[in-house]
Amino acid sequence: MPKRSRSSQRWLKEHFDDPYVQRAQQEGYRGRAVYKLQEIDERDRLLKPGMRVVDLGAAPGGWTQYAARKIGRKGVLIATDILPMDPVPGAEIVTGDFREDAVLDAILALVGDERADLVLSDMAPNLTGTGAVDLPRSIHLCELALDLATRILNPGGAFLVKLFQGEGSDAYLAEVRRRFGSVKVRKPKASRPRSREVYVLAREPRDV
């Protein structure tokens, strides 16, 4: 077995010492990211019983698990990702790239005529470590999520998306503000301090 690099060893130690990782394992969640959603939900009252929710970039499924528990049996939850994902009780899973017509059509069919109350996106590209490559890819995913959200949300709906701050993020935020009446930026405690990620919460979609 090849020897791990020092940076890899540091990452592993940090990961397994992370209280959110330990808490996720104890509480049966699939990853520490669930606590980012939980904090925003508790602050901004996002998820309610009976809601219709679309979860983009859902794998491995922590956000889906949390959302399913909050919306209950009367809710509708559609989780989608390019990566395969283990089933989550209460969720319909669509595997594939929603930029492809067949995948998008499957999502739209599950959403139905009643439209969605909430679109979640914790999507991120496969990171190369080079900001000039990673950031544009991330912004592009955010743009795709925004386009889908404005297409399927009902007039009282909300959109929560992960955004990495840097070149292009201000322009993206301006576009979200153009399309929604209320926009807030959140930095949950579970988001590592050195990370440039924030979460943009947009409500009151405009007909633009």
- The answer on pLDDT for 102 being more than 70 is yes
pLDDT of 135-159, one tens digit each? 899 999 999 999 999 999 999 999 9
Question: Of the listed 13, 48, 70, 162, which one is catalytic?
Answer: 162
- Outline where DSSP puts E strands in the chain: 52-56, 76-81, 92-95, 116-121, 153-164, 180-186, 197-205
The pLDDT of 194-207, averaged and rounded, is 92
Distances (CA, A) of 132 to 76, 125, 168, 173: 38, 13, 11, 19
Q: What 3-state class would DSSP assign to 164?
A: strand
Distances (CA, A) of 43 to 11, 36, 46: 30, 11, 8
Q: Please give the residue that has the higher pLDDT: either 190 or 45.
A: 45
**pTM of the prediction?**
0.88
Does the annotation place 61 within a ligand binding site? yes
- The answer on pLDDT for 205 being more than 90 is yes
The pLDDT of 98-102, averaged and rounded, is 92
What whole-number distance in Å separates Cα of residue 201 and Cα of residue 182? Answer: 8
| Most trustworthy range by pLDDT among 106-115, 121-130, 170-179 | 170-179
Mean pLDDT of the chain, nearest integer: 89
The pLDDT of 172-187, averaged and rounded, is 97
Give the CATH fold of the 6-205 domain: Rossmann fold (3.40.50)
Does the annotation place 122 within a ligand binding site? yes
pLDDT at residue number 27: 80
**Percent of the chain at pLDDT exceeding 70:** 90
Does the annotation place 97 within a ligand binding site? yes
The pLDDT of 182-189, averaged and rounded, is 96
pLDDT at residue number 12: 45
User: On the CB side of 187, how many CA atoms lie within 13 Å of its CA?
Assistant: 8
Q: 153: which strand partners?
A: 116
Band of residue 134 on the pLDDT scale cut at 50, 70, 90 = confident
Where do the domains of the chain lie?
6-205
pLDDT at residue number 150: 95
pLDDT of 3-27, one tens digit each? 566 655 554 455 556 787 888 888 8
Does the annotation place 72 within a ligand binding site? no
The answer to whether residue 13 is catalytic is no
Angle, CA 105 vertex, CA 101 and CA 110 arms, to 5°: 155
pLDDT at residue number 3: 59
